[in-house]
Structure 1
Amino acid sequence: MGGEDEKKKKMKLLCLHGFRTSGSFLQKQLSKWDLSIFHHFDLDFPNGKYPAGGKSDIEGIFPPPYFEWFQFDKDFTEYTNLEECISYLCEYITSNGPFDGLLGFSQACQLLFLSIYIRGCVKRGATLAALLLGYQKQGVVLKEHPPMKLFVSISGSKFRDPKICEVAYKDPISVKSAHFVGAKDWLKVPSEELATAFDNPLIINHLQGHTVPRLGKETR
């Protein structure tokens, strides 16, 4: 079989970076994983809709520019530009898809499907992605896009706004999912809580913190 046939067999994943970083940085984070994993996937790494509105934790470690998907308060219960972010992602998915699944780190894991009015915005990549999935399942967004088949959460969490939760997490999300949970991650408990929103989730525990973990042979 030719190379084009092999490419067609790959699952296409939309990969959403964490707070005030970039698609290039998430790509760098994932490069620590064994190359054999990526033979199965075609990965897309967009940048967040908004330039970083403050200091990035990766300044001096990885070159700018840095981006954020939306903004939020210190308790992560009130959000700004969330609806705009979701519209941006839905348009990106429609224009560059179809996608077979989503991968998100931290803030990005929450965002998956919003088309009803929502006040505010959210912080994490994995959080954002999970929201999109929940909203797609409820028929709120991406109605014409094929159902997602896979979700990979790295240090993700749920949104905390009750108005969002009662829609996005109303029913178990029946998508194959893998959830990386770090023993030293400050989002360890929220990551475990996010996994409960999915039907039969695969939870992959590791000993590291709030990061894309290196994978041992068994985990790989």
Structure 2
Amino acid sequence: MENQRKPRILCLHGFRTSADILKQQIGKWPETLLHNLDLVFLDGPFPAQGKSGVEAIFGPPYYEWFQANQDFSEYTNFEECLLYIEDYMLKHGPFDGFLGFSQGVALKKVPKIKFVIIISGGKFGGFKFGKPKLAANAFSSPIHCPSLHFIGETDILKADGIGLLDSFVEPVVIHHPEGHTVPRLDEKGVETMLKFIDKIQNLP
């Protein structure tokens, strides 16, 4: 990969965390992998409206990509979030892929991304909650965008991550023994990820 341009990846953090927190979490990956990636980290558009699950480990500020009512049965500002991401990509792109979050229905003003890397992900709303219309539309047909998924054996949302695999055509999966977090990568995980990136760079 030394003679190729590094894939530029827009990294979107998890619920009520931040770009800096995700950067610290991914920073524990081996340099042999990080050296081959151009990672750009973006904060969500909204300050966190409640308690963060990482407060005992990482300090504030914390951000959200969307806002919801107390029981998460209704979402607000979902479209605004997608426009926020799209505007950032227009100003700071182009990007080859996403890490952390995938939504291609509304991002129509920017070049189509080549791949997504999804860590502890699931369909928007998961099995418990409803989906905004844009998110529901995104999963109405198979997604052909190449995807790499991280699924933790002790992740409380493991079932959601497995369910998401059905929406993608030929997803690549890295299983790890940790929970709902950015996992450390062993030698096999790094090899899988490098092969995935190499495959993306060699697409027509």
TM-score (norm 2): 0.83
Q: What residue is the counterpart of 2:116 in the other structure?
A: 151
Give the distance between the partners of 1:90 and 1:146, measured in 2 at CA: 10
Tell me the secondary structure at the aligned position of residue 210 of structure 1.
coil
Q: How does 1:93-108 map to 2 (within 5 A)?
A: 93-104=89-100
Question: For residues 76 and 215 of structure 1, do their structure 2 counterparts lie closer, same or farther at Cα, with a shift above 3 Å needed?
Answer: same
Q: What residue is the counterpart of 1:217 in the other structure?
A: 187
Give the distance between the partners of 2:32 and 2:20, measured in 1 at CA: 20
For structure 2, the 5+ residue unaligned runs are: 125-129, 191-204
Give the distance between the partners of 2:135 and 2:70, measured in 1 at CA: 19
Q: Which one of the candidate residues 185, 198, 201 is aligned to 2:171?
A: 201
Tell me the secondary structure at the aligned position of residue 35 of structure 2.
helix
Tell me the secondary structure at the aligned position of residue 151 of structure 2.
strand
Return the offset for 1:60: 4.1
Question: For residues 158 and 77 of structure 1, do their structure 2 counterparts lie closer, same or farther at Cα, with a shift above 3 Å needed?
Answer: farther
Give the distance between the partners of 1:144 and 1:18, measured in 2 at CA: 24
Give the distance between the partners of 1:195 and 1:184, measured in 2 at CA: 18
Superimposed CA distance per residue, residues 10-67 of structure 1 (whole angstroms, 9 cap, x where no aligned partner): 1110000011111000000101111111222111111110111122222242222111
Q: What residue is the counterpart of 1:33 in the other structure?
A: 29
Q: Which one of the candidate residues 52, 59, 66 is aligned to 2:62?
A: 66
Return the offset for 1:95: 1.0
Identity %: 46
Return the offset for 1:76: 4.2
Q: How does 1:5-84 map to 2 (within 5 A)?
A: 9-73=5-69, 76-84=72-80
Give the distance between the partners of 2:68 and 2:161, measured in 1 at CA: 18
For structure 1, the 5+ residue unaligned runs are: 110-129, 136-140
Question: For residues 65 and 165 of structure 1, do their structure 2 counterparts lie closer, same or farther at Cα, with a shift above 3 Å needed?
Answer: closer
Q: Which amino acid aligns with 1:17?
A: H
TM-score (norm 1): 0.77
CA contact (8 A) 2:16 2:53 kept: yes
CA contact (8 A) 2:82 2:107 kept: no
Q: What residue is the counterpart of 2:146 in the other structure?
A: 176
Question: For residues 28 and 182 of structure 1, do their structure 2 counterparts lie closer, same or farther at Cα, with a shift above 3 Å needed?
Answer: same
Q: What residue is the counterpart of 1:121 in the other structure?
A: none
Return the offset for 1:217: 0.9
Q: How does 1:81-120 map to 2 (within 5 A)?
A: 81-104=77-100, 109=101
Deviates more, 1:46-55 or 1:158-167: 158-167
Superimposed CA distance per residue, residues 130-172 of structure 1 (whole angstroms, 9 cap, x where no aligned partner): 2x23x1xxxxx33342221110000111124273454101221
